[in-house]
Structure 1
Amino acid sequence: MSNHSGSYMLNEVITILKREHCFDHLDQEEKQNLIEEIVKLARYEDDCNPGEILEGHTDYFKICLVFV
């Protein structure tokens, strides 16, 4: 069973980080690697859903759910 509340909380955290320009100093590959690491940790440690975490963010990070 997925941890939906954890997934949505992480999605909101990513939204806040984007709004506050926390990713601006990273190049595209660094952004992708950081988000991939966060999603993998959440997925395997806390059973969060990658689709819910990344909903609305895939275009910004230029990342595909297949590779997460």
Structure 2
Amino acid sequence: MPLHRRAQLEATATVDTQARLARLGIRLGAIIEATQRTPGGGRVVAVGDLRIALDRATARDLLVVELDAAAS
């Protein structure tokens, strides 16, 4: 997921990833934005006022639809 682009979370690659995100407060349909890269290749994502660091494997499991790209 490119930095500073808003996207809607459509699905995850595994049920485990979806459950983990739900425990963190991120549900399918959420509008998210990657705000930073982490040293290990993960992302810090913003969901509203919430900021959550996702490891590389979890970030790669996200299926998102970019919203900003559709608007331009």
TM score, norm. by length of structure 2: 0.26
Name the structure with the higher strand share. 2
> As a proportion of its length, which structure holds more helix?
1
